[in-house]
Amino acid sequence: MSAPLYNRDILALAVANADYPLLDAGQRASLRAPLCGSRIIVDVDADAAGTVRAVGLHVEACALGQASAALLARHAPGRSLADLRAARDAIAGWFAGEGAAPDWPGFDLLAPARDYPARHGAILLPFDAAVAALAGADVAG
């Protein structure tokens, strides 16, 4: 791909994480991507039916991981655990060359990273953590 890996849109998303501070309520998961060392804490507040109301973040990752986290937090409200799992699986499949680009708003901005497997873990990490949190797993890793 000819698009730059880090561009103005990615960097703008990366700083948007400040709009999603950790929550005082909800489920929490803390994960680390073994390959790159990125770390994330995701808080997910959901209603009784399991629909996401809010997401809080603490992200220590490259700009791509931070951008992915911002896209997750921005577009997760109103979605279910099944929706988040489906998005995570679609992203992983797309990275593996097994499917089309994921149907997640704004994810097209991360398309240049597809050619950089070392970055895939950081991009998947927010979705992995949100799924773990929403599934009720009090995860630290």
What gap in Å lies between CA 72 and CA 126, rounded to an integer?
A: 7
**What's the mean pLDDT in 46-50?**
92
Say whether pLDDT at 137 is over 70. no
Pairing of strands 39-46, 139-140: unpaired
Residue 36 lies in a domain: yes
pLDDT band at 2, cuts 50/70/90?
A: very low
Domain that holds residue 40: 8-140
Residue 68 lies in a domain: yes
How is residue 39 annotated by DSSP?
E
In SS3 terms, 93-111 reads as: HHHCCCCCCCCCCCHHHHH
What gap in Å lies between CA 59 and CA 46, rounded to an integer?
A: 20
What gap in Å lies between CA 71 and CA 123, rounded to an integer?
A: 10
Q: Which residues contact 9 (CB under 8 A, 6 or more apart)?
A: 109
Q: Give the count of domains, the chain.
A: 1
Residue 127 lies in a domain: yes
Residue 1 lies in a domain: no
pLDDT at residue number 3:
61
Pairing of strands 139-140, 27-32: parallel
Q: Comparing C-alpha atoms, which of 83, 72, 74 is closest to residue 129?
A: 72
Global pTM value: 0.91
Where are any strands of DSSP class E within the chain?
27-32, 39-46, 52-60, 139-140
What gap in Å lies between CA 16 and CA 13, rounded to an integer?
A: 5
**CATH classification at residue 98:** 3.90.1010.10
Residue 69 lies in a domain: yes
Residue 124 lies in a domain: yes
In this predicted model, which residue has the larger pLDDT, 7 or 69?
Answer: 69
Over the stretch 75-133, which tens digit does the pLDDT of each residue have?
Answer: 999 999 999 999 999 999 999 999 888 999 999 999 989 999 999 999 999 999 999 99
**What's the mean pLDDT in 27-49?**
92
Over the stretch 9-33, which tens digit does the pLDDT of each residue have?
Answer: 899 999 999 999 999 988 999 999 8
pLDDT at residue number 99:
86
